[in-house]
Amino acid sequence: MFLEACRRRPVPYTPVWIMRQAGRYLPEYRELRAKVDFVALTRSAELAAEATLQPLRRYPLDAAILFSDIMTPLQGMGVGLEFDPGPVVREPIRTAAQVDALPRLAPQRDVPFVLDAIRLVRAGAPRGVPLIGFAGAPFTLLCYLVCGRPSKEFSAARALLYAQPETAERLLDRLADAMTAYLAAQAAAGAQALMLFESWAGLLGIREYRRFALRGVRRVVAGLRPLGVPLIYYVNQGSALMEAVSELDVDVVGVDWRSPLGAARRVLGPGKAVQGNLDPAALFAERGELKRHIEVVLDEAGPLPGHIFNLGHGIWPDTDPDAVARMIDYVHERTARRPLA
Ligand code: CP3
């Protein structure tokens, strides 16, 4: 269902998955994390596969997403970093010399555990539930590499775009090439769709978005397109950027909760599916209200094929797992269509 919806084909019901579906809101994930730290979890193929499968045992989800992190491949390339709980880079990148010294990524050598985890998930996932592989979009990775830790403004990263634009471009190209190799290796290992997470491009004005962030994404998309695997681009706080996003040759655009899906679809045009976009906070609404908020999202998505239901950003750690079950069931129930004659 999920892969059909990515390709904008009619489906018997709207498929659902949840950003951060393997995570701290699940008691079984917290149990796993009590025994192993986050990095060890991501670096063990068996444990990463287990975390990926946990939400699929609990819920009738229509896709799995690999349990890993956008920083995992950079760690594989030798970038020193810890998680506290977000990524903290030991030596932030600020100079052209540091960019040039960044090693290239060889996925089989540097992150074999990710590829092994993908093989284990494919062997263990329920029938018909495809696996999404993912990477950080180049500009979002640049934000963490340059600033060194999560931030509201990512000011050092944004300053670099103006102070040393060529260095920024060189870093984006490096990251784009690394993520292209990384995602191609994930597809070869069995990932059936590939998603790029662009968490911070919403900080940019349209000119800088085009020159820097879009440059990086275009380069990755150009490298992956020949694989024929559906490509998903999620851009957080992307309302003002949608026209530029519409030019990208991706199958699906992930939309945050701030822009109604109808508005996003009008700008993106008929050639793209949309994914989203219930506010993660809506899972705290009383039962009847939650249904009403889900209906608003479904109505905004409209009757045309090419909608994948999701939250507008990652699920919050204090979310009630039963509210998640009610959400998934209600989307399936509300969108059930008679089989095509
Ligand atoms: O969606 C999934 O279930 C797959 C796993 C996944 C994780 N991180 C696991 C994780 C995915 C797809 C990501 C992507 C990711 N990581 C993004 C892009 C999506 C987004 O949220 O905008 C970003 C920006 C990161 C960087 C990152 N990693 C942050 C900011 C944090 C800390 C805050 C948080 O949300 O937990 C992490 C750590 C992290 N990545 C955790 C998990 C389950 C929590 C670690 C723990 O268990 O202590």
The residue to mutate among 31, 66, 69, having the most atoms of ligand 1 within 8 angstroms of its beta carbon, is: 69
- Is 20 an annotated catalytic residue? yes
Q: Name the average pLDDT for the chain.
A: 97
The torsion defined by the Cα of 114, 118, 120 and 121, in degrees rounded to 10, comes to 130
Q: What is the pLDDT of residues 268-325, one digit of tens each?
A: 999 999 999 999 999 999 999 999 999 999 999 999 999 999 999 999 999 999 999 9
- Is 158 an annotated catalytic residue? no
Residue minimizing CA distance to atom 25 of ligand 1: 70
pLDDT, mean of residues 161-187: 98
Q: Using a pLDDT cut of 90, give the percent of the chain over it.
A: 98
CA distances from 123 to 118, 131, 191, 296, 316 (A): 9, 11, 12, 37, 29
- Is 33 an annotated catalytic residue? yes
Is the Cα torsion angle 82, 87, 89, 90 positive or negative in sign?
negative
Q: Which of 25, 29, 59, 144 is catalytic?
A: 144
Residue 337 is predicted with a pLDDT of 84
The residue to mutate among 70, 186, 256, 313, having the most atoms of ligand 1 within 8 angstroms of its beta carbon, is: 70
Looking at the predicted structure, is the pLDDT value of residue 338 above 70? no
- Is 69 an annotated catalytic residue? yes
Q: Which of 13, 24, 211, 279 is catalytic?
A: 24
Residue 173 is predicted with a pLDDT of 98
State the pLDDT confidence band at 341, using cuts at 50, 70 and 90.
very low
Q: What is the pLDDT of residues 181-228, one digit of tens each?
A: 999 999 999 999 999 999 999 999 999 999 999 999 999 999 999 999
Q: From ligand 1's centre to the CA of 2, what distance in Å?
A: 22
Q: From ligand 1's centre to the CA of 236, what distance in Å?
A: 14
Helix or strand run (H / E) with residue 89: strand 87-89
User: Could you tell me where the DSSP H helices lie in the chain?
Assistant: 2-6, 27-35, 38-43, 45-58, 72-76, 96-101, 107-110, 112-124, 138-147, 155-163, 165-189, 206-208, 215-224, 242-245, 261-268, 287-301, 321-335
Q: From ligand 1's centre to the CA of 149, what distance in Å?
A: 13
pTM, two decimals, is 0.96
Atom index in ligand 1 nearest the CA of residue 51 equals 3
Query: Which residues have any ligand 1 atom within 6 Å of their CB?
Result: 19-24, 33, 38, 65, 67-70, 83, 85-87, 134, 150, 197, 199, 236, 314
Atom index in ligand 1 nearest the CA of residue 29 equals 47
Domains and CATH numbers, the chain: 2-336 (3.20.20.210)
